[in-house]
Amino acid sequence: MKLTLSSDIKKIEELSYEKYGIQSITIMENAGSSVAYEIKEANLDTDEFVVVSGTGNNGGDGFVVARHLQNFGYKVTVFIVGNPKNISGDAKINFDILKKIDMQIENISEQNGLIKFEKMIKKCPYIVDAIFGIGIDREISDIYIGTIERINLYKKFVISVDIPSGVDSNDGHIYGTCVRADKTVSFILPKIGNIMYPGSSYSDELIIKTVGIPVKAINEKKLKYQIVTEKFAKNFLMLRKRDSHKGNYGKANIIAGSSGLTGAAILTCKAALRSGLGLLKLYIPESLNTLITLSVPETVTVPLHEMRKGVIGINHINRIVEDSNSVNVLAIGPGCGNTSEISETVRRSILDVKAPLVIDADGLNALSKNIKWLLEREGEIVLTPHPGEMSRLSGYSIDEINKNPIHIANEFAEKWKVVLVLKGSRTVIATPDGSVYVNINGNPGMATAGSGDVLTGIITGFIAQGIEVYKSAILGVFLHGMAGDLMAEKRGEYGLLAGDIVDGLAYALKNLTNLNEK
């Protein structure tokens, strides 16, 4: 499903009028009526609603909602926040209709109106929020703060129109305060603010209504942002043939692990193998070989002599590079440590390994000090940073990255010609052509040590099997989240470990494969 900015929606609506003749008043009517019918079909145990509308187009949607609810037999009171004289255009047309049908209309423009509103919502169980919508671009102040605070205070069931009032639709930022909705009915397509945190957390349920916009108008916009859904991800999964062998499912090399950090190597290898990979080699300091062999016997280990205990010697880099040019993918970084040896290994891999690369963890830390190495890279590369690593790579602060991960990931991927997997509560996959994919599954239990190593292994495994690099990143992120969700259902979020995600991967693949076969 495509994901939009507020400017995208405006352009789609303009195109719907200019090319297909759909009037803006028709879109408003369809939007408001879709919310009203959603309410009616829910069979809510009430005969009374309060509709809180602003003076802009979102308020106009609210006026349409109110009219239809009254037609359905509900008792409806409309509260207008702000000066009614500022209502114009299509919203004014619908406001005038309300006056003609004797709708009860109140105004919240001063303290007395706020007191009346408070008395009303104390006894009314359901509120429709149509104050701001997607047009807000400033901090909320004055009477609006008071209105929203009272909506939240009394914890009524709230239905927001398009987006909870107070959320920036372009990035999910909160403008000081925000309506806490139980359900949001959004129009045409989801907005970034509907999906990204913290905005997403202000609505428990999101429903999308098309409101009569032609699909052609949406497709002509060529939107480059997309939500990763189960239906979308399953298209990338390759079904296995009955007459196959391990050679059909690719070869991967992984450089991971150092003294005290063997767990990262183990998790990465287990995840790569669980993804369906045919043959895996792990390059490891020789002192760690026995532990790795006992933990992941399915992995072929290449124990390398150490010049320093627990660290791969720099004299082995030529061998690693040469070997990696005969496999389908090389992954480097998990648990490698911040050493000069790993820095040189990353540099040589970027410059001399023709196979796709997946760089994570300590590999990213080495790269962040020498980011221009990427300019000399000819083959495809996947980087999988968390916000701290992304800060070191990009120069943005962690706070800036968390506030606008889509924009920053998009900018970085285009500039450095990489597939970027920016990990977080909403992991963002950005590609060199400007496309961005946002993953929405997963859960807080996955915020645990080693979870990122598991993701690196999954992506590596899919690339090895011949799935395109950017598709492997998307599929890997989705299945990583799906595996985490499946295991959270069994074990809960608090006790979830990275190893549980590896175990859940087999079940996630089974589920997605079953969908693909239908």
Report whether 424 belongs to an annotated binding site: yes
Let me know how long the chain is.
518
Report whether 402 belongs to an annotated binding site: no
Report whether 231 belongs to an annotated binding site: no
Q: Which residues contact 273 (CB under 8 A, 6 or more apart)?
A: 280, 296, 298, 299, 457, 461
Report whether 264 belongs to an annotated binding site: yes
Report whether 133 belongs to an annotated binding site: yes
Report whether 144 belongs to an annotated binding site: yes
Report whether 199 belongs to an annotated binding site: no
Largest CA distance in the chain: 87
Report whether 386 belongs to an annotated binding site: yes
Report whether 276 belongs to an annotated binding site: no
> Which amino acid, residue 63?
F
Task: Using the CB atoms, write b or e for 291-304: b if 16+ within 10 Å.
Answer: ebeeebeebebbbb
> Which amino acid, residue 126?
Y
DSSP-assigned letters across all residues of 279-334? EEEEEEEGGGHHHHHHH-TTSEEEEE--SBTTB--GGGHHHHHHHHTTSSEEEE-T
Please name every residue paired with 389 in a beta bridge, in sequence order, or none if there are none.
none
User: Can you say how many angstroms the Cα of residue 112 is from the centroid of all Cα atoms in its chain?
Assistant: 42
How far is it, in rounded angstroms, from Cα 427 to Cα 469?
17
Report whether 118 belongs to an annotated binding site: no
3-state secondary structure of 434: coil
Report whether 165 belongs to an annotated binding site: yes
Report whether 60 belongs to an annotated binding site: yes
Q: Are 47 and 237 in contact (CB under 8 A)?
A: no
Report whether 335 belongs to an annotated binding site: yes
Report whether 443 belongs to an annotated binding site: no
User: Can you say how many angstroms the Cα of residue 458 is from the centroid of all Cα atoms in its chain?
Assistant: 18
The 3-class secondary structure across 50-80, one letter per residue, is EEEECCCHHHHHHHHHHHHHHHCCCEEEEEE
Report whether 83 belongs to an annotated binding site: no
3-state secondary structure of 209: strand
Q: Which residues contact 259 (CB under 8 A, 6 or more apart)?
A: 285, 287, 288, 309, 310, 311, 337
Beta strands in 423-497 (DSSP E): 428-430, 436-439
Report whether 194 belongs to an annotated binding site: no
Report whether 57 belongs to an annotated binding site: yes
Q: How many CA atoms within 13 Å lie on the side-chain side of 205?
A: 8
Q: Are 185 and 34 in contact (CB under 8 A)?
A: yes
Report whether 139 belongs to an annotated binding site: yes
> Which amino acid, residue 175?
Y
The 3-class secondary structure across 336-396, one letter per residue, is CCCCHHHHHHHHHHHHHCCCCEEECCHHHHHHHCCHHHHHHCCCCEEECCCHHHHHHHHCC
Report whether 137 belongs to an annotated binding site: yes
Report whether 308 belongs to an annotated binding site: no
Report whether 134 belongs to an annotated binding site: yes
Pairing relationship of beta strands 225-228 and 203-209 according to DSSP bridges: unpaired
Report whether 138 belongs to an annotated binding site: yes
List residues forming the annotated binding site for K(+).
58, 129, 165
List residues forming the annotated binding site.
57-61, 129, 133-139, 144, 162, 165, 264, 335, 386, 423-427, 452-453
List residues forming the annotated binding site for (6S)-NADPHX.
57-61, 133-139, 144, 162, 264, 335, 386, 453
List residues forming the annotated binding site for AMP.
423-427, 452
